Structure 1
Amino acid sequence: MRDILDAFESNVPLYTDLRNKASSLLQDLLRSEGIGVHQIEIRIKNRESLALKLSRPDKVYTSLRDVHDIVGIRIITYFEQDVAAIARLIEREFEVDWAHSSNKGESLDPNVFGYRSVHYIVSFSGERTRLREYERYRGERFEIQIRSILQHAWAEIEHDLGYKSEEEVPREIVRRFSRLAGLLELADEEFNEIRRLKNAYVSRVHSMISGEPDELLIDAESLRAFLDSEPIAPHIAALAAERKLKVVRDENFAPIIKATRWLGITHVSRLYAEVESGGAALRRFLELCVEHTRSTGPLAEKYALNQTALLLYLTYWIVARQNLAFEPFLEALSSDVPDRFDRAILVKLADTLRRLYTQALG
């Protein structure tokens, strides 16, 4: 054992570089595949944990190369479906040591609930280690685990309770673990289905936005599609180009949805109607709002045109066009942040918006 531990100590710099190289490669591969993950955890065994592993009576280690998980990487996904997608990616991009790899989900009895995770022992492929920056890692194996965030919660809680394998769990607790595992498995499936439904809805929204806006209710997805549609997107691009501004988008659509509800606007078609009827006066009002924000807002607003802010300005236009009072409207928008509510600032903004509206009408 002492020889293995000494060899480990002398190779720590290599393992540190291997950990960083493998983690960086995995991040690049996931990014290129468009797979978002919750977290990538990386670690190197320390001398104490390695000594504990070497002392296990059920294993025999004759050299450091017999220890396959000195470097470990854990990929935690948001969705259980992504576990399989990442598994396929790893099998394609790395040399997999199948004799020491496992898929705990596939190995479970169909009638049994339990911890599900994919564990690979891998090394860099021969093609990759022919590259100069990878050649020093030829033959070096490391562990990659893939699990969903719910599977991760299960494993962490089980470990925190002191159980490293299902054989250790007292019989009277096993049933409760099984019930919990079933709930988590069902939750994973429901999250997969929610994502599928969301993606299907987004596709439907984009097909409806140009042909059936009368049927399209206002929500975050329909507002995104509205901003990307004709003639809205070209107007925004022109507005930004005239001022040499970068077009950005704040993904928080809650204030706009709250504003449209206050105005009684429920469908995207009403926003199109307002844009069409507003014409040059509306365009001028939006320009004035942009200039006002650039002159009084934070530094970032001076160099960027926020598409989402333009939607809010459109609701300001509707308030003014309908000759409604700005004060209750702005107060309703501020209701979620009462600690930041300042009546004097609200009144000043209301006066400014009335002035900009009058100025836009010419």
Structure 2
Amino acid sequence: MEHTQIEMEKIKYWRTELVRFMMAYKFAVEELSTKISILQEEFQHIHDYNPIEHVKSRVKSPESILKKVQKKKLPLSLPMIQENIRDIAGIRINCSFVTDIYKVANMLTKQQDITLIETKDYIKNPKPNGYKSLHLIVKIPIFMSDRVENVYAEIQIRTIAMDFWASLEHKIYYKYNKAIPKELRDGLKEAAFTANELDEKMERIHNEVSELKEADQLNSHIEESITLPPEFIALLSEHEKHS
């Protein structure tokens, strides 16, 4: 009877710890999502342009975590899993332009309670298959009732074109059970090149529009600044009458 009681207590303890473990990642995603929402709203109300188009978030399921544990050959230990699997909590941000990606990354990693752990820049150094994205591993504190959990999370930032390509590649990857035929691999690489060209072209257009807008604003400012006071206009009119 005593042995059964001990076993039950152990089960209860590990169930509680597992719930805490998963909740910490859920809270990390919510915390990061709130930070991104604040940036979105600030840009919407204060700045002329919002670099953040769309945001997605997810927490890996216990089944998915277990598969990764087996793949990495890790012991079934929550601290080991927490330290070695750093993408359990994930945020994906879609931006309009490549320059926006680095702006958003800089705004997030400059925040005092976000610690940047690792950067993988697949934009400057694309994967062999053509994949592009900026990956950040960050650590964020989660304040719980009796402890502070410092939780890892992965933030992926990419353009809409990069995201479309990655989504298509992912679907094909699993449709063919990770063995994509060569002609499809070549087609995907070509599509990645086309997506990159589109990003570059749209950014050039965006920059040209911004320059024209700045020039219009400058001209308007100049016109306003050289507007003559009514008294001076009246003086000129009186001068013309007598000349």
Deviation track 1:84-127 (CA, whole Å, cap 9, x = no partner) reads 112222332221222xx411122238xx7711101111112xxx
Tell me which residue corresponds to 1:103: 121
Instruction: Give, in whole Å, the separation in 2 of the partners of 1:71 and 1:28.
Output: 19
Contact 2:24 2:151 in 1 (8 A): no
Q: Which of 27, 31, 36 matches 2:37?
A: 27
Contact 1:8 1:64 in 2 (8 A): no
Tell me which residue corresponds to 1:247: none
The reply on whether 1:12 has 2:22 as its aligned counterpart is yes
SS of the counterpart of 1:96? Answer: strand
Q: Which structure has the larger Rg over C-alpha atoms?
A: 1
CA drift at 1:30? 5.0
Instruction: Give, in whole Å, the separation in 2 of the partners of 1:185 and 1:169.
Output: 22
Instruction: Give, in whole Å, the separation in 2 of the partners of 1:195 and 1:137.
Output: 44
Instruction: Give, in whole Å, the separation in 2 of the partners of 1:51 and 1:169.
Output: 26
The reply on whether 1:151 has 2:169 as its aligned counterpart is no
Deviation track 1:253-294 (CA, whole Å, cap 9, x = no partner) reads xxxxxxxxxxxxxxxxxxxxxxxxxxxxxxxxxxxxxxxxxx
The reply on whether 1:64 has 2:72 as its aligned counterpart is no
The structure with more strand, counted as a fraction of residues: 2
Unpaired segments of 5 or more residues in structure 2?
1-13, 226-243
Q: In structure 2, do the counterparts of structure 1 residues 171 and 70 end up closer, same or farther at CA, with 3 Å as the change threshold?
A: same
Instruction: Give, in whole Å, the separation in 2 of the partners of 1:74 and 1:16.
Output: 15
CA drift at 1:27? 2.4
CA drift at 1:205? 1.9
1:248-263 matched pairs, under 5 angstroms: none
Q: Which of 29, 52, 55 matches 1:37?
A: 52
The structure with more helix, counted as a fraction of residues: 1
Q: Give aligned pairs, total.
A: 199
The reply on whether 1:117 has 2:133 as its aligned counterpart is yes
Deviation track 1:20-60 (CA, whole Å, cap 9, x = no partner) reads 1121023224555654311111111112222222222x553
1:242-281 matched pairs, under 5 angstroms: none
Instruction: Give, in whole Å, the separation in 2 of the partners of 1:42 and 1:135.
Output: 26
Instruction: Give, in whole Å, the separation in 2 of the partners of 1:107 and 1:134.
Output: 42
Contact 2:173 2:180 in 1 (8 A): no
Scaled by the length of structure 1, what TM-score is found?
Answer: 0.48
Q: In structure 2, do the counterparts of structure 1 residues 49 and 31 end up closer, same or farther at CA, with 3 Å as the change threshold?
A: same
Identity %: 22
SS of the counterpart of 2:55? Answer: strand
Scaled by the length of structure 2, what TM-score is found?
Answer: 0.69
1:46-195 matched pairs, under 5 angstroms: 46-56=61-71, 58-60=72-74, 62=77, 63-65=80-82, 66-93=84-111, 94-98=114-118, 101-108=119-126, 114-124=130-140, 137-163=148-174, 168-195=179-206
Contact 1:43 1:72 in 2 (8 A): yes
SS of the counterpart of 2:173? Answer: coil
CA drift at 1:142? 1.0
Q: In structure 2, do the counterparts of structure 1 residues 162 and 73 end up closer, same or farther at CA, with 3 Å as the change threshold?
A: same
Tell me which residue corresponds to 1:236: none
Tell me which residue corresponds to 2:3: none
